[in-house]
């Protein structure tokens, strides 16, 4: 990832406080009524000790906006990789 969370050089896991966060990936799940969206391979800061993942604000906002588009379009179930989202907007 290009920058550290909140401009820090190193960030300790907020959940277990046992390890420094490192570059990684995670899956993010959204659900609203009968609609579900799963985005895999999302860039994240991950804890090697407890496995918790944290997203940069820009990535989180992008995912929320895309999930809202999917919800408005009425797509019942969608699973895709984050790289596909950044290369082609899922629902334009």
Q: Per-domain residue ranges for the chain?
A: 8-87
| pLDDT for residue 15 | 94
CA atoms within 13 A on the CB side of 56: 18
Q: What is the CATH number of domain 8-87?
A: 3.10.20.860
| pLDDT for residue 42 | 96
Has this prediction a pTM greater than 0.85? no
Q: Which two tokens stand for residue 87?
A: 């290369």
Q: How confident is the model at residue 1 (pLDDT cuts 50, 70, 90)?
A: very low
- φ, ψ (nearest 5 deg) of residue 52: -60, 145
């Amino acid at each position: 990832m290009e920058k550290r969370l909140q401009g820090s050089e190193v960030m300790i896991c907020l959940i277990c406080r046992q390890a420094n966060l490192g570059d990684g990936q995670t899956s993010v799940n959204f659900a609203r009524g009968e609609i579900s969206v799963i985005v895999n391979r999302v860039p994240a800061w991950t804890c090697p000790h407890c496995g918790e993942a944290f997203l940069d604000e820009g990535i989180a906002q992008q995912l929320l906006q895309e999930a809202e588009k999917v919800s408005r379009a009425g797509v019942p179930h969608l699973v895709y990789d984050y790289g596909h989202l950044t290369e082609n907007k899922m629902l334009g």
